[in-house]
Chain A
Amino acid sequence: MNQFLAMVKARTMEFVRDRGTFFWNLLFPLILVFGFSFVFSGNQDKIFKVGLLGDVPQSSQYSFLELEQAEFIPYDLEQIDRETVVQKLRMHQLDMLLDFDKNSYYINDQSANGKILRMLLQNPQYNQMALQEKEVSGKAIRYVDWLVPGVIGMNMLFSCMFGVGFVIVRYRKNGVLKRLKATPVSAFSFVSAQMASRFFIVLLTSMVVFAGTNIFLKFMMLGSYWNLILITALAILCMISLGLIFASRFKSEELASGVLNLLNFPMIIFSGVFFSLEGTPPLMQKIARFFPLTHFIEGARAIMLEGAGFVQILPNLITLAAMTLLFLVTASLLFQWD
């Protein structure tokens, strides 16, 4: 058997037969997706969310603004364009949008909350300014729809960074690398086999997690599955390459674990796995652009929730490809057998 394939097979067998690690890689994201889906499925629809555009009058001039059950969110048209706000209404992130510049209100014809608010505005007592109705259409995005790319991305990150970074450090510490160094196997051949094995494992587990949770939760998927697989594959390569940098020199598993966690946790927090980066300080948003996870989550959410095509996600793909190249070159320059 070709030495590359033999090493891919050996590493894959090692992973699959290590049942604890194998099932944890599958169970962890499933638990997270179902757990968050359960926790956030309850009382969210009890609050009306109403977006405000233009010069907002005093509540005394427009009684609707006194509605206690509604949260009013003003948007500044100098910072966000009108279409983006309307898109939030389409995605059910808002129940209604009042546009005082255009003397109109928008509702989503598929939103139950929007229909209740419309009934109120049809009463002139609440609608003193006689705003005109405009209707948009769009299915609701649940938190779980928004969350699933983040959770899958986070699982990919852990699996890639620890599955390569940590494992190679363990190989170095316990002497497996030294044994391989004594054979004619080249470092390139060894490292690429580790990458290939991890790539297929992570791609497959991500697809299983997605498909498995989709059976019960029926995610919103407006874009192409091929584009989703493409950005997933590229993100996996990028994260493995990042893990290789840490695998290249460290000899202590404790040190490798600490450093990998030090990098992983800020990445999870700042890449928008659990909450949107909208409204966070600009510096935080700038830092997040340096993380591969940010580009994966952004691209995957755009495909799934907005139906983005190849061209729309191209900036994310190019960034991931460039990062992969940079990480691989750095790792290959730093790599040592022992």
Chain B
Amino acid sequence: MQVEGLHKSYGALKAVDGIDLEIPRGSCFGLLGPNGAGKTTTIEMMEGIVKADDGRILFKGKPIGGDFKKKVGIQFQNTALPEFITVKETLELFSSFYPHPRPMDELIELCSLLDILNQDNRKLSGGQRQRMLLALAIIPKPEMLFLDEPTTGLDPQARRNFWKLIEGVKAEDTSILLTTHYMDEAQLLCDYIAIMDKGKVLECDTPQKLLEKHFKGVLIRLPHDGDERELPQGAVITGGNLEMQTVDLDASLKKLLSSSYDLTGMTIDKPNLEDLFIKLTGSSLRT
């Protein structure tokens, strides 16, 4: 799937400001960005739900339309389901919309729905509900699957269970476009990521290449004591921590000790996507 020069404005607000993306077949593509970055608008334009002001959206080289809806699966950020009907009845209802739906047994097994089949939609827990919504999204055996923040609000265990389901779908050679606030999720599932802010794509590549491009060595992080003495070369204060990126760990530690820093609580990590995100957007992911 390809997107070229996509624009969308709501009044004076430019929600999406000329973005280009390409999602290779069979890959999982992560779209990351703070709230209001334009992720949901972008994904909904690609789904054909929201009309773009300008730009092209191509699926297998052709503009979306026609049978596109029969070939894609969608899980919205917020979805209500018909009330007073069970999971099984909802699956049957949505299966009736597609010419070649996935067999019910397969759906139930893939999304671990056996225990909740006869449960009323209103009584599903957060994790059960997300599994159910994923099942609805994969009914048409989609070639392209859109997942808009599918694990937001889930507890850590439910999130991990959900990742396994997504990996199962990915194994079927389905292309996935995933938006998420969780960097561990993106790092684990995504083959490619694009970081968006203010309607623009800031960076787009594989997670590994992006980290290599922006970070060298390791990241030393220690609680800042608030003393206004001169910072060692290469160190910055971020969110109450002193952070120092370095390729020569020995030399950096010596610098900190010579500056009388208390190394209690110090961590040494390889930079991750969250560090990259903060570096690029200047904001925390959940703000």
Q: List A residues at the B interface (Cβ < 8 Å).
A: 1-3, 5-7, 9-11, 13-15, 17-18, 171, 174-176, 178-179, 181-185, 338
Contacts and interface: CB of A to CB of B under 8 A. Distances in A.
A10 B82 contact: yes
B85 interface: yes
Given A1-B92, A7-B93, A182 B84 contact: no
For the complex, would chain A's binding face be called helix, strand, loop or mixed by DSSP majority?
Answer: helix
A14 B83 contact: yes
6 contacts: A7-B93, A7-B96, A176-B79, A178-B49, A179-B79, A184-B99
Nearest to B67: A184
A181 B76 contact: no
Of B47, B94, B98, most buried by chain A (CB within 10 Å of CB) is B94
Given A174-B80, A175-B79, A10 B89 contact: yes
B94 to A, nearest CB: 7
B74 interface: yes
A13 B85 contact: yes
A179 B80 contact: yes
For the complex, would chain B's binding face be called helix, strand, loop or mixed by DSSP majority?
Answer: loop
Contacts of A185: 97
Interface string B68-112: 011000101011111111000110111011110000000000000
Of B48, B49, B84, most buried by chain A (CB within 10 Å of CB) is B84
Given A6-B96, A178-B76, A184-B98, A14 B69 contact: no
B84 A183 contact: no
B97 A3 contact: yes
A183 B76 contact: no
A6 B139 CA distance: 15
B78 A175 contact: yes
Contacts of B49: 178, 181-182, 338
A10 B69 contact: no
Nearest to B86: A13
A1 B82 CA distance: 18
3 cross-chain pairs, A with B, having the tightest CB-CB distances, nearest first: A6-B96, A174-B80, A17-B84
Given A10-B85, A182-B47, A3 B96 contact: yes
Contact of A175 (B67, B76, B94, B99): B76
Interface residues of B, number: 26
B96 A176 contact: no
B100 to A, nearest CB: 11
A175 B82 CA distance: 10
Given A17-B84, A175-B76, A179-B80, A184 B69 contact: yes
B185 to A, nearest CB: 23
A245 B89 CA distance: 29
Given A2-B96, A5-B96, 6 more contacts: A3-B97, A6-B92, A9-B89, A175-B76, A183-B97, A184-B70
A17 B86 CA distance: 11
B81 A182 contact: no
A10 to B, nearest CB: 5
A14 B76 contact: no
Contacts of A15: 84
Contacts of B84: 13-15, 17-18
B85 A17 contact: yes
A137 B97 CA distance: 61
Contacts of B47: 182
A13 B93 CA distance: 12
Interface string B42-82: 00000111000000000000000001011000101011111
Contacts of A18: 83-84
Contacts of A174: 80
Contacts of A2: 96
A11 B82 CA distance: 8
Contacts of B69: 182-184
A5 B97 CA distance: 11
